Chains A and B, each alone.
Chain A
């Protein structure tokens, strides 16, 4: 809506520009003598000037003339309608983007039936998120490059841990509901891990 409003404002500004431009093109506007350019007909002087837009009876031709209130109103309406439609389209796009962002950042209490898009996920961002949700690590297996950081975000109602199987560098301690934990991987290899509170929860980090 605000996009539509800003389009209308720009439209109005354009009008005042053309109005100024219009005045510059013609001699000083004198409403008592109407003069139409580009036409053969000489009209008698009238109190009301002819409209800028008129249709010749035999040929459809838009002839230019002095800017009148009617002309301004006509073009104003045209520009307003165009602006309104364009703004509506923009705001629809905006809503779509906002909705998809909301869906992606669904909080813990949301009941999403989460399905990982693929078992393994490649990431090139410097901080890569892994969700802890509905007692699963998502994605279960993730591939990153040396030097990258993973942030485990606990979207569940209970605490979890990220702990290396056997000896290993992952040892988050308790990650509370709603909290997160980061680890930067400085060497290549496979790093299997699990949750010490709920040992059936397992994940894998592959560092290349």
Chain B
């Protein structure tokens, strides 16, 4: 049962990026800079929400420390991204991608809220692994290739090692929990 839940959560997170991009309708227009900025902001704030829930619910010190790092890091990236958008006179713009990120995030929060103890810890960490994998994939395939503004591109490139670090950290904890 637990395995099925874990699989469901993992695939839901992956769907947020990959399915939206690979629809059978004609290829969606690549995001513009304002949409890229909003995707970054949404991706960060969704992970902050996951982290806040984990800090409240977990009894595991490792998971708690990880969740606190997620909150700290993604809040900081959001602050820099917001400041950059303001500096560039850019209003971040919602897109199908950012909207489905948010709605999938909300659904996952609802699922995780209903869980407790070790089951919660595993589900949270499994989701973090899948989530960071899909964000890195989106960065490499969609956001970085389409970013036009040089400073926005720099921000995305500086953000990439953050997601790599988080993914590696999450995988270590995932291995210790299973």
Contact = CB atoms under 8 A, between A and B. Distances in A.
A53 B148 CA distance: 61
B18 interface: no
Interface in B121-178: 151, 153-155, 157-159, 161-162, 164-165, 168-169
Contact of B80 (A111, A135, A177, A197): A177
Interface stretch (B7-15, B71-79, B96-104): B71-79
A109 B80 contact: yes
A28 to B, nearest CB: 67
Contacts of A157: 76-77, 80, 155, 158-159, 162
Contacts of A49: none
B158 A109 contact: yes
Contacts of A108: 158
Given A109-B154, A111-B153, A197-B69, A159 B161 contact: no
Given A135-B165, A157-B80, A158-B77, A111 B154 contact: yes
Interface residues of A, number: 17
B144 to A, nearest CB: 10
B84 interface: yes
B158 to A, nearest CB: 5
B151 A158 contact: no
A111 B69 contact: no
A198 B77 contact: no
A111 B158 contact: yes
Contacts of B79: 177
Nearest to A156: B158
A198 B68 CA distance: 11
A156 to B, nearest CB: 7
B84 A158 contact: no
A54 B153 CA distance: 65
Nearest to B68: A197
Contacts of B165: 135, 198, 200
A176 B77 CA distance: 11
Interface string A175-186: 011000000000
Contacts of A177: 76, 79-80
A197 B169 CA distance: 10
A135 B70 CA distance: 15
A135 B69 CA distance: 14
Most chain B beta carbons < 10 A, residue from A109, A174, A176, A177: A109
Contacts of A174: 72
A39 to B, nearest CB: 68
B22 to A, nearest CB: 28
19 contacts: A108-B158, A109-B80, A109-B154, A111-B153, A111-B158, A134-B161, A135-B162, A135-B165, A156-B158, A157-B76, A157-B155, A158-B72, A158-B77, A159-B72, A159-B73, A174-B72, A197-B69, A198-B69, A199-B169
Interface of B: 69, 72-73, 76-77, 79-80, 84, 151, 153-155, 157-159, 161-162, 164-165, 168-169
**Nearest 8 pairs of A and B residues by beta carbon:** A111-B157, A158-B73, A109-B154, A135-B161, A111-B154, A158-B76, A134-B161, A157-B80
